[in-house]
Amino acid sequence: MTIFISIVGLGFLIFIHELGHFSASLALKMRPRKFYIGFPPAIVKRTRKEIEYGIGMIPLGGFVKIPGMHRPAPADVDQSLGRVLEEAPGLSDAAERLRRALAIGDHDAARSSLATFAAAAAGTDLSEPMRRDVEKGVTDLGDALGPDAYWRAATWRRVLVIFAGPAANILFAIVIFAALYMTTGGKATTTVEGVRADSAAAAIGIVAGDRIESINGTPMTGKLIPRTIAGSDGKPLTLVVIRDGARVTLGPRPADSDAGVYRLGFLLAGAGLSPPEAARESLVTTGRVSQRIFTSLGRLVTGEGRKDISSPVGIVQGSSDAAKQSTNSFLWVLGLISLSIALLNLLPFLPLDGGHIVFALVEGISGKTVSRGIYERVSMVGIGLVLLLFMIGLTNDIGRLS
């Protein structure tokens, strides 16, 4: 059940990301054509007000189709309609007029030529697959020539539409952290909220609801408990807890070493902070976590950060483990994953959002449109890097699970 909850949680974060792009593109007059969670083929889809909403069969992300991401060029005619022209050579003259109009940048003539091509194709005997190619090709070229095309927009509009996706994930993380600080994530108490399975705490019998009175004879406060355990250097710990009004002695048992830090494996309940305090702590937490994520990514260059990378398999497993501990633990992890999605997408590589932002700025500063061919070649490099990160994360996750 927790695996299912984790998958739904990850899907929700992807939805939040794509909703950011979608909302910004609507607000900035770049009416999107599609809004998908997952990638096609579609499991279910529905069209409302000329926008296709769907859930894809491939659950590796999502996308919003914004019209005219690239300035149309003559090569787009062959790419979109090449197979149609092979089957129906009689359409070549109409296609050639469209190419010439695109070559000289006469978009009014291009729209007229595209309409002529569509009319000629409608009167031609074509196979069903070619008719679908005509419909898709004419639609895509028409979107690229339309007034709401992405490439036509001012640089600041393009940057905002792309940045809105990561920004939505960052905002979600800030809000969820603040909510947790206002409820149970603020000042630590001495009461145990949850115990991790197969941990030292579980082995000595600590249970949720126990109030820790002392460790090795030293009276405890909420702040002192984690410091005492972390500073135990692997020496046996004896805990006295209050359970149902009675004192219970647990241990002795040494803490487990987790990445060089000693932990028993339980979570303390927290007391809520005021809204201003919670907001401040949320922003501080977001900043600290962001710095650590970027540091881990930077360490990949030297090979030292390889073990910090996880694939969707590890992300789901980690959030599932958190869900088994408590709802609050799951929400903390969900916030961290949301922040990771945002920062990963801001890396300056196509097809990630950061790459699109860089290219929009380059085009805005130079005043020239980068050709689609360059976009595609640079995207291949970016896709290779993303796949490399995925494979590193997957091998790490397989090692952890095994």
Residues of the chain where predicted confidence (pLDDT) is lower than 50? none
Burial label for 292, CB within 10 Å (0-12, 13-18, 19+), is: exposed
Tokens of 76: 């787009």
Contacts of 228 (CB under 8 A, 6+ apart): 215, 216, 218, 220, 237
- Answer whether the bond into residue 129 is a cis peptide, omega within 30°: no
How far apart CA 155 and CA 303 sit, in angstroms, is 36
44 close to 30: Cβ distance less than 8 angstroms = no
The pLDDT of residue 251 is 87
Residue with tokens 């889809």: 45
The pLDDT of residue 402 is 55
Task: Kindly give the interhelix angle for 353-366 and 372-401, rounded to the nearest 10 degrees.
Answer: 160
Candidates 206, 65, 216; CA nearest to 139 is 65
pTM of the full structure: 0.77
Q: Kindly report the number of other CB atoms within 10 A of residue 157's CB atom.
A: 18
Tokens of 380: 């291949």
State the SS3 of 105-128: CCHHHHHHHHHHHHHHHHCCCCCH
How far apart CA 108 and CA 81 sit, in angstroms, is 20
Tokens of 18: 């794509």
Contacts of 264 (CB under 8 A, 6+ apart): 199, 200, 201, 204, 206, 229, 237, 253, 255, 256
Burial label for 163, CB within 10 Å (0-12, 13-18, 19+), is: buried
The pLDDT of residue 306 is 63
| Ordered domains of the chain (ranges, CATH) | 74-145 (no CATH), 188-271 (2.30.42.10), 275-401 (no CATH)
